[in-house]
Amino acid sequence: MEEQTKDDIPNQAVDPRLRATAYHEAGHAVMALALGRPIQKVTVVPNQNYLGACQIQKGRFKPTKDWLEDEILILFAGMVAESQVTGRYCPNGASQDLRGIRRYVLMRTSGERQVERLERRLLDKAEHLLTDTATWKAVESIAAELLKSETISGRAARHFYDLADT
């Protein structure tokens, strides 16, 4: 019998947790690229702390008008992209991201009601940005490549982002 490679396995045969992780990390990468932040690498290789990671290059990006909002959008993008393929948010899987979001939001506002409103507004914005057709195509392309290769360079992520015509 002929041996199958990862390329031969249909998407349905992929472990659902791995697929969710690939979309989660692709969401972070695409949002970062959309906001002008270069990527170092993206991986779905787990370690003791994470199921995957999107490493953003430090100090090599254009200043934005609202750095704090950009950071929050990048953090929300993982959970948002994952929910597009699983049908629900997974706060457990995004717990590190959600803690980071809360920390950033508390830098901007303090009352619990204000915190919740700002988080909701930025979650809605992340959803809106990722559901753009070209942007979502970039998420799908990066996630597919992560399912094949497990780790991709920032350069490869940029290539898939550019190919999606975002």
Name the strands in the sheet holding 39-43, side by side, starting at the edge strand that comes first in the sequence: 53-56, 39-43, 151-153
Weakest mean pLDDT among 22-26, 51-55, 110-114, 162-166:
162-166
What distance, in Å, lies between the first and last C-alpha atoms of the chain? 43
**In this predicted structure, what is the pLDDT of residue 12?**
53
Of 154, 141, 145, 131, the residue nearest 81 (C-alpha): 131
25 classed as catalytic: yes
Residue with tokens 């015509």: 165
pLDDT of residue 156: 97
Q: Is 54 helix (H, G, I), strand (E, B) or coil?
A: strand
pLDDT tops 80 at residue 64: no
The one-letter code for the residue type at 117 is R
Q: Which residue out of 25, 71, 119, 140 is catalytically annotated?
A: 25
Confidence category of residue 59, pLDDT binned at 50, 70, 90: low
pTM of the model: 0.88
Sign of CA dihedral 155, 22, 87, 106: negative
Position 24 pLDDT exceeds 80: yes
Domain ranges for the chain, please list them: 15-163
CA 48 to chain centre: 19
pLDDT for res 8: 47
- 15-163, CATH topology level: Methane Monooxygenase Hydroxylase; Chain G, domain 1 (1.20.58)
